[in-house]
Amino acid sequence: MVVRCDVAVVGLGAMGAMSLWQLAERGVSVVGVERYDIAHPYGSSHGASRIYRSILFEGAEYVPIARRSLELWRELERAADAPLLTTTGGLSIGTDGGELVADAVKSADAGEVAYELLDVDALRTRFPQHATFDDDIGVYEREAGSVNPELAIRAAVARAVDRGARVETGTVVSSIEFGTDRVVVACADNVIEARTVIVSAGPWFNDLVPELALPLRNQRSILSWFSGGSGYGPDRFPTFVRESHDLQGWGIPDLDGSGVKIGISGQPKPWLDRPEDNRTPVTPGETQPIESFCRMAFPGLLPRVVRAEPCINSKTPDGDFVVGTTARAPGAVLVGGFSGHGFKHAAGIGSIAADLAVEGATDIPVDRFDPDRFDPVRLGGPEGAGA
């Protein structure tokens, strides 16, 4: 069977679901394809909570996407009549003179994001849950919080369907034939012919665009929860990111009684040959470093993981996203490589992808995320020497 539409969206995780919703809101004929169920736990878009913040030490280029995302998270909440984004405040902790705080302040100033700069005494007074060093300082953002990924994805897909989108779950895409006039998406039981395709397949991204040879690699990451008391609820314990001395990690308050979510950064994580290899259970050896971080960073938490599950980070070499188009895949909008810090931007990315698919351009600058920045011909590498 041949299904025809204006835009096909391949992969309905965070970015794909938001793209589907944004296209359907614009009245575009759109078909979304997902290899599993909606809001499944096998990729990068699960785990009950994800940090949202507008202060972004990744760079000022991310601030417009975060702003657009905040508007759309709230719009989706109203449409779904469900709380998707919980405002908790957000805290960045680093050493005085260190990169984390310096980059956070630079990003906030460039993006005109309101913040408070806290010395160590203010940190200890306002947020005593954290064990601090004498040279720690912090940046506090009042409007930061946490998005529920599963609820948000389901809400976006449901809204898209209400607005006329077609969704096919349990459907694996075997190949995509790109073209300037028509794109053909081959599935097991049917073929989708579209004017444009948005490839938002997360860990399976490179399987669908192998001809681009993008240097994306999938990394196993552990999500873990710890038991906390009343001092770790959303009204008293902001989401946080920390890089001070040996304490490098992030966390989200206990939003619903299931525990404080804590992760670590700055330590090696295993690479995956295939996304399916990530389904092995979390081992004590994987949670031990997180428990050690918890023991040092939070004296009031029981340093024992009460729940843990694996996630996947699809990473680029430079840590920036892949968002845009390329002549090497005509008819495609490429959305991938979110490198473990993309979910907060998902609603904005969906809007950008819809812009590119329908208009061929977007008002949010995305040059930094150009898929062709890895093209060996452009870089003058082995295939492009002398070009």
The torsion angles phi and psi of 30, rounded to 5 degrees, stand at -140, 140
Distance, CA of 13 to CA of 132 (rounded, Å): 37
For domain 90-142+217-315, the CATH architecture is 2-Layer Sandwich (3.30)
- Other C-beta atoms within 10 Å of 309: how many? 14
- Do 2-46+149-215+318-376 and 90-142+217-315 fold alike per CATH? no
pTM given for the model: 0.95
Q: Which residues contact 367 (CB under 8 A, 6 or more apart)?
A: none
Q: Tell me the pLDDT of the chain (387 aa) as tens digits.
A: 899 999 999 999 999 999 999 999 999 999 999 999 999 999 999 999 999 999 998 888 999 999 999 999 999 999 999 999 999 999 999 999 999 999 999 989 988 999 999 999 999 999 999 999 999 999 999 999 999 999 999 999 999 999 999 999 999 999 999 999 999 999 988 999 999 999 999 999 999 999 999 999 999 999 999 998 789 999 999 999 999 999 999 999 999 999 999 999 988 999 999 999 999 999 999 999 999 999 999 998 999 999 999 999 999 999 999 999 999 999 999 999 999 999 999 999 999 999 999 999 999 999 999 999 998 776 555 443 332
CA 28 to chain centre: 25
Report whether CATH 1.20.58.1690 matches the domain 2-46+149-215+318-376: no
Distance, CA of 5 to CA of 194 (rounded, Å): 5
Distance, CA of 330 to CA of 325 (rounded, Å): 8
Q: Which two three-digit tokens encode residue 249?
A: 């990690």
Percent of the chain that is helix, strand, coil (3-state, to 5): 35, 30, 40
Comparing CA positions, the residue from 226, 225, 158, 182 lying closest to residue 7 is: 182
The ranges assigned to domains in the chain are 2-46+149-215+318-376, 90-142+217-315
Residue range 23-69, pLDDT digits in tens: 999 999 999 999 999 999 999 999 999 999 999 988 889 999 999 99
**What is the per-residue DSSP string for 124-174?**
HHH-TTS---TTEEEEEETT-EEE-HHHHHHHHHHHHHHTT-EEE-S--EE
